[in-house]
Chain A
Amino acid sequence: MQTETRRLTGWGRTAPSVADVVDVPGPASSEHDSALDPDQWLEAAASAAPSRGIIARGLGRAYGDPAQNGGGTVVQLRPSANPVWIDTEAHTATVDAGVSLDELLRRIVAHGYFVPVTPGTRFVTVGGAIASDIHGKNHHADLSFGQHVTAFELLLASGEIRTVTSASDPDLWWATLGGMGLTGVIVRATVRLLPVETSRCLVRTQRLDRFDSLLAEMEDGDDQYRYSVAWVDLTATGRRFGRSVLQQGDHATLADLDAHDAKALRDPRAFDPGALATVPPMPNVMNRVAVRAFNELWFRKAPRDHVGLETLTGFFHPLDGVRDWNRFYGAAGFLQYQFVGPFDAVDTRRTITERVVADGNASVISVLKRFGAESGGMLSFPKPGWTLTFDLAAGVASLPTLLAELDAMVIAAGGRHYLAKDAHTTPEVIAAGYPRLDEWKAVRRSVDPDGRWASDQARRLALL
């Protein structure tokens, strides 16, 4: 165990704070049930700054400050020597919380499995996936990550490691899925895996010139595919407003490989992604000209309507090929704004999108997706409706006004904001978006009466 004072930010590289980071190594032994010894590090961590609390941090991919804890303690759980246990009969994996989806995929794809839900990057941990109750391109079909977790082990403020299931302790279960790590430290989880025949996806890609045609295409077509997501050009104005590339797909079967790329049959479960490049520290290059040029190119290179095979990496994690891509935004960093608005708030969806386009500062690759049902997590983000995600360079002068207006429009429409992305909003906006916040706080207090768990985000948004 190692403690180091470090300055931490989220992936957006904004609002830093300094904390004692405790690196907790996984046990070296291969005993399945000899997890970490909580007494050992919990006491050390808590004695350092008892008033500032502790938060777990995975790979630091949340955009804002949920995995920071200024003046307090941040723990990073390293996976043990045998961090993944696959049960091929139940189709589940029991995984140490510090294991990344990258690591998990490298171990399961060869056995014919895929993770039940993946975000746009493989570099998140299983613990973080549960704490943020993450979603992916299959939310309309498979809901969020928590839906596929059958049990997790949670280190409670009392020092007890409790195995929690939705039946054994429903309050704690639903408070922890999406609970941003504030109910305890997730140390291990059992996750249902998705059997797949190949490591390819069969994807239909369509280039759509208009926002309305995109919406119609998604409403009509999404149900026929497990995965669906649209990449919208929020820098396009006038006649080009809402032009987009829609991708809908499924895991390819062996028959699909045979039909589209027989060579792939030689190694149908090949999966060994590497990084193409690492971005060095640089000033912000995401200016309007560069962003517009990128969007123009990317739109034009997309096929009008095409069905073909894509690798898992190419389809799910295209940005992972470029390490540290957040450095493109320079020292000032960036924000990723993500909200969901209900299906019936049609006017608001258009007004908000138009407002972002009019502002002109949205960056490359904005994402539109239709969500399925709520998961039941008290602070889980997804709910039925449309979710729009876009990046904004943090240094832009019009940003405070734009975000304040957007926040108000989202809340007025009955929508809400994703805590894993949030880096700017207010306690009022979060309280309005999450009607079960008080219920969650009550559960949290019952398992953490002395306020042992805390984060910068929790203090900023008055979650505690």
Chain B
Amino acid sequence: MKNALHQPQTVVVLGGASDIARAIVVALDSPNLRTVVLGCRNVDGADTDGLAAELSGATVRAVRFDATEHEAHRDWVTNVAAEHGDLDVVIQAFGQLGPDAATDPADAARLVDVNMTGAVSSGLAVAEQLRAQGHGTLVSLSSVAGVRTRASNFVYGSTKAGLDAFTTGLGHSLHGSGANVVTVRPGMVRTSMTEGMEDAPFTVDADVVAAATVEGIRKGRSVVWAPAALQGVFGLLRYAPGPVWRRLDR
């Protein structure tokens, strides 16, 4: 149960290797935080000790989670809740860039399976649990790449567009249940996923996204842009004529 200061007791990360999720967990730390569960494909590679050292006393556990094992998601969520109690904040952070997706149909389908289908199956499983609790927040990492897709990463962008449509709709369906969804739309973020790439305009560090996300949780927002200026920027870019949009995508 979150307390009156919106401090969660239990935080679950789906995609436990995500740098942004890690920054969000650190930003959610408080004396009230007891348990962090990192759901990752590679449990042995999870930096549980390193994360615990950054927190004020919470236990960090890694549990095997694969975004593409759709049939297992419901049981996975149920089991984590059975062991650790109510899930206060669940962060959906898994996702890949799929650099070859535009030229390799099989690769593109795999990318959709992780980024989009995995988000739907795990998102519904989490929503079911939060609804039964009568409280709780699902944070889902979308991207401005999905707000308007561009030539250089349109398959990735379309998976995020699908995810974004799903999580915002899920948020509407949870209205009145006590549970809510915060869809986070970052621009480019300097993380291990984007390592070696050139900074785009409005590129930020993960802790900027984390701070905006925690603020969004606190204020009960359904959509968080990080940095906030991107909301206005994409409000315009969304309607830019095709030739202009293509020129901007250098």
Contacts and interface: CB of A to CB of B under 8 A. Distances in A.
Interface of A: 5, 7, 12, 14-19, 49, 52, 64-65, 69-72, 333, 335, 394, 399-400, 403-404, 407, 423-426, 428, 456, 459-460
A49 B1 contact: no
B133 interface: yes
Contacts of B6: 15
Contacts of A459: 1, 85-86
B9 interface: yes
A122 to B, nearest CB: 25
B176 interface: yes
A426 B4 CA distance: 12
Contacts of A15: 1-4, 6, 135
Contacts of B177: 18
A388 B134 CA distance: 33
A424 B133 CA distance: 19
B115 interface: no
B134 A404 contact: no
Given A18-B134, A49-B132, A426-B31, A400 B1 contact: no
Nearest to A12: B4
Interface string B1-34: 1111111010000000000000000000011100
Interface of B: 1-7, 9, 30-32, 85-86, 131-135, 176-178
Contact of A456 (B1, B5, B30): B1
Nearest to A51: B132
Contact of B135 (A17, A64, A333): A17
B80 to A, nearest CB: 15
Contacts of A428: 31
A400 B5 CA distance: 7
A335 to B, nearest CB: 5
Contact of A404 (B2, B31, B131, B133): B31
Contact of A72 (B7, B31, B134, B176): B134
Contact of A17 (B1, B31, B176): B1
A456 B134 CA distance: 10
16 contacts: A14-B5, A18-B177, A71-B131, A394-B5, A400-B7, A404-B30, A404-B31, A424-B5, A424-B32, A425-B3, A426-B32, A456-B1, A456-B135, A459-B1, A459-B86, A460-B9
